[in-house]
């Protein structure tokens, strides 16, 4: 059985440095006029007190991470009261089920386009522009990520326009405060083996980066390729490559290009052996993501003859 050390594990996910994320190149004066969105603080929506000390990182975040968030069945309530309810629902879930000290994400965006503060002190610290509150929404990367939960599941349906518009404005403000370039807007799956933020919303990330860049008045470089996400039931060349890599790592899986039970079991065993934490947004409530092969698993199995960036690029074309 393969043995995975901590150094290898930390290579998972996106790999750009904080220095590369900061220092945007402006194309006009729009960056100086980024509007400040309305963000409703924890005191407004009836948040429970945090159950532990809120950690404030003494540096800016590198990435802005987009999530989707399940809640009781979506309805036609796009009100502010509904946004407050969703904020409370997520906090209760994260504290009571996940055992976290508070909401895992720093901010929450409702289908009606209302933004609420998630983890306590996130808004206060964001306004300062030099530090950020450590969340619990991106396993093994929480010290470098700022997360936004978006109400709803976006695996097969698109986001409401109000949510999209508020997401663009919120991210533009965050990016402006911290000097983060739009190409460092990521999805949760760019770091962990999860469906989040849903295939539909994930596919719109290039559009989101462009929209944010337009608000900021900055040029938007093309984001580097990410690790592909493979799930049980998938078939094809990427699955076959993953199976070959798993076999080379000591797992007895077929190389038939079909992500069946034995491949799922092998991936789950590898993840457990490597100690991969499963910090997830609330979308995991309705989906068993055991055995998903994504950004934190690929670096554990790909051969070491290429860089992770080269492997990501190759796999994106496979």
Q: Hey, where are the domains in the chain?
A: 39-216, 234-317
- pLDDT on residue 102: 98
Angstrom CA distances, 45 to 48, 49, 58, 80, 281, stand at 9, 12, 27, 10, 20
Helices vs strands, H then E, count in the chain = 12, 8
**What's the burial of 18, exposed, middle or buried (CB within 10 Å: 0-12/13-18/19+)?**
middle
Q: How confident is the model at residue 223 (pLDDT cuts 50, 70, 90)?
A: confident
- pLDDT on residue 284: 66
- pLDDT on residue 261: 97
Condensed to tens digits (0 to 9), the pLDDT of residues 1-17 reads 444 443 344 444 444 33
Q: Is the pLDDT of residue 101 over 80?
A: yes
Give the span between the Cα atoms of 108 and 118, in whole angstroms.
6
Mean pLDDT of 142-164: 96
- pLDDT on residue 281: 61
Give the span between the Cα atoms of 126 and 12, in whole angstroms.
27
Contact 297, 229 (CB under 8 A): no
Phi, psi of 68 (to 5 degrees): -115, 160
Contact 189, 295 (CB under 8 A): yes
Query: pLDDT above 90 covers what percent of the chain?
Result: 78
Mean pLDDT of 178-193: 96
Q: What is the mean pLDDT of the chain?
A: 89
Q: Which CATH superfamily is domain 39-216 in?
A: Peptidoglycan recognition protein-like (3.40.80.10)
- pLDDT on residue 75: 76
Q: Is the pLDDT of residue 277 over 90?
A: no
């Amino acid at each position: 059985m393969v043995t995975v050390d901590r150094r290898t594990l930390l290579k998972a996910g996106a790999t750009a440095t904080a220095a590369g994320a900061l220092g945007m190149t402006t194309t006009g004066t729009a960056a100086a006029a980024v509007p400040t969105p309305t963000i409703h603080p924890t005191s407004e929506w009836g948040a429970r007190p945090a159950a532990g000390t809120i950690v404030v990182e003494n540096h800016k975040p590198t990435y802005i991470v987009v999530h989707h968030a399940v809640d009781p069945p979506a309805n036609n309530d796009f009100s502010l009261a509904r946004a407050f309810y969703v904020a409370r629902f997520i906090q209760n879930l994260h504290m009571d089920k996940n055992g976290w000290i508070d909401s895992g994400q720093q901010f929450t965006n409702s289908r009606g386009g209302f933004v609420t503060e998630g983890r306590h002190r996130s808004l206060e610290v964001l306004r300062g522009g030099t530090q950020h509150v450590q969340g619990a929404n991106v396993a093994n990367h929480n010290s470098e990520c700022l997360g936004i939960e978006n109400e709803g599941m976006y695996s097969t349906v698109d986001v409401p326009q109000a949510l999209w518009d508020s997401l663009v404005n919120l991210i533009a403000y965050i990016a402006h405060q911290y000097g983060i370039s739009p190409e460092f807007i990521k999805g949760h799956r760019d770091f962990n083996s999860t469906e989040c933020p849903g295939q539909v919303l994930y596919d719109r990330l290039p559009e989101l980066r462009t929209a944010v860049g337009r608000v900021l008045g900055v040029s938007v470089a093309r984001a580097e390729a990410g690790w592909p996400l493979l799930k049980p039931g998938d078939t094809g060349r990427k699955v076959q490559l993953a199976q070959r890599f798993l076999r080379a790592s000591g797992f007895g899986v077929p190389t038939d290009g079909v992500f069946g039970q034995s491949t799922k079991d092998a991936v789950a065993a590898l993840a457990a052996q490597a100690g991969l934490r499963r910090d997830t947004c609330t979308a995991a409530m309705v989906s068993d993501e055991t055995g998903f092969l994504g950004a934190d698993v690929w670096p554990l199995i790909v051969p070491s003859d290429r860089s992770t960036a080269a492997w990501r690029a190759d796999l994106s074309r496979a």
